[in-house]
Amino acid sequence: MSVDPYVVESSEAAGLFEFGACAPAGAREILGVESARLGGGVVLSMRNDPANYWNKALGFGFSGPVTADLIGEVLDLYRSKGAPAAVLQLAPSVLPPDWDDIRAAHGLSRERPWVKLARDLSEVPPPLPEPAVERVGADTAAEWASLLLRGFGMPEGPLADVMTVFADHPRFRAYLIRVDGEPVTAAGMFVGGETAQLFGCATLEPHRGHGGQRAMLRARLADAAAAGCRTIFSDTGAELPGEHNTSLHNMKQAGFVPVYERDNWRWQADPA
């Protein structure tokens, strides 16, 4: 499957920007969360990131080249916001010939890559009848946020407040699976025009291996197609030698095709 990396990266960047932009005032102040557009990409900063995950910058290299000056601007923004660290995610096609020199000059270290996946939505299977997937509304958004964070081992608190508000974003879809009335699997999806971007799927450990992720994939494929999307994107950790990434294999079984691996480049602020 041939997909323009610009479309792949833009889909993810749009969702990331809206996630930070919708943060309620209380959580925004406590976490120090902000979204910014810079150099054709998106920068999400979180001064007090309780999960060491949310300081991310991506979508660069399409409106203009990736240069030492651009990377410097991104890192200066993080410094100005008091972020302790950040990860820059750049599609392999936008890395310039002198990237090794640029990243060394700015102290960026390579981390585990992610694999970006895409699926055409011209034909999608119907949702699975079991386990039943429910769409999250305002009355269940807090349940969804709590479960998604716990499923990924992230603390709740003000981060759950951001997630709860994001669940009600007009372009976001949130989903739950319950067992005996209790939520056990949570997933999300951001819809942007002709593309959709999966936004996590987490199942509490005692309930893993019972088809929750497959059901969530089928439900989101159907909803994305119904919303008029032509392509849906996702990502997960790249499978290293000797490893088995269940999420990656579930996505492939659902028709997703890997389109490229994207390195993560970590920046660490200088000690105070």
> Does 272 score more than 70 pLDDT?
no
Sequence spans of domains, the chain: 5-114+262-268, 133-260
> Does 210 score more than 90 pLDDT?
no
> Does 168 score more than 80 pLDDT?
yes
- Tell whether the torsion through CA atoms of 107, 90, 155 and 20 is positive or negative: positive
Q: By C-alpha distance, which of 48, 22, 24, 51 is closest to 35? A: 22
CA–CA separation, 60 vs 38, rounded Å?
Answer: 9
- Supply the DSSP symbol for 230: S
CATH for 133-260, options being 3.30.70.20, 2.170.150.70, 3.40.720.10, 3.40.630.30: 3.40.630.30
Q: What is the pTM of this model?
A: 0.94
Q: How many CA atoms lie within 13 A of 119 on its CB side?
A: 25
What is residue 235's predicted lDDT score, i.e. its pLDDT?
97
